[in-house]
Structure 1
Amino acid sequence: MVSDGLPYQHADFKIPPVTGDIDKIVKNIEAFKCLSSLLLFADHSASNITSCSKYYTKQQLPASLRRDIFISLKQLLQAHICNYFIVESTNVLPQLIESIDLYDHATQEEIMQLLLFVMIDLNFVPLKELAVLSLHLQSKI
């Protein structure tokens, strides 16, 4: 479990059950990794990327496409309350925070809104994400 043994977790926190509209639940983590890799590693060589690397080129994706991919990721994470916990092991949110300077201002704000969604709407203290944010902000001082 994500919350097992984590310090600073809310006493009333429980991983949300897989109930409700199950059509909105992430069922293929590999597809999610592929989508997130398009956003996070679009300008890296194909040899350094995940299993879907045969589709990559070394060129940067257009800003509008990067934005559309981010919006898709955000919508997937917010579509069902258990989606964040299903894909949490992919570290997509910490990686987005770590590379936040590479995105336009609107996307930067939405990355932070996604972090707030995890903390407020899911009632979860995302320690990895907060640690990455803290290190990122400290490096900018």
Structure 2
Amino acid sequence: MALIPKPFRKYKLGPPKGDARQRILAQWRGVDFAPIEKGQAMRARKASELLPKVLKDMRLDNHRSDAEVVKVWNNLIDPMIVAHAQPTGINKGTLFVSVDSSVWLNEIVRYRRKEILDRLQHSFGRDFITKISFRVG
């Protein structure tokens, strides 16, 4: 009995083919872009890696600190002053406060500015609020 040689395997050249969808797209395009698309695909990243940058871009920490100042302002300052003056924002340590009339602006600036600044600095620290700017508006 003679030994019949085993049929040799056919080796395919080129990258391995993907699923049926990939093959059909490659035929339709005339070019197989699967390896290029796979290389250019963005890798999934953890939310914990992305969240700090997103929050920084949205400046949510600034909005949160503004909201916290308004909350403390409403609870800490005299209700008569709160009725006529509200903080509008904070920038580089300066708290901007809008006052509804020039009479109240004069009253607050002359007699209450130091007291308000001391109370807010006691709550937030001297570095967070360094001065207060009052405006009619």
- State the TM-score bracket (shorter-chain normalisation): under 0.3
Select the structure that is richer in helix: 1
User: Higher Cα Rg: structure 1 or 2?
Assistant: 2
Q: Whose strand fraction is larger, Structure 1's or Structure 2's?
A: 2
TM-score scaled to structure 2, two decimals? 0.24
Q: Which has the higher contact order (CA 8 A, sep 6+)?
A: 1
Q: Provide TM-score, normalisation by structure 1.
A: 0.23
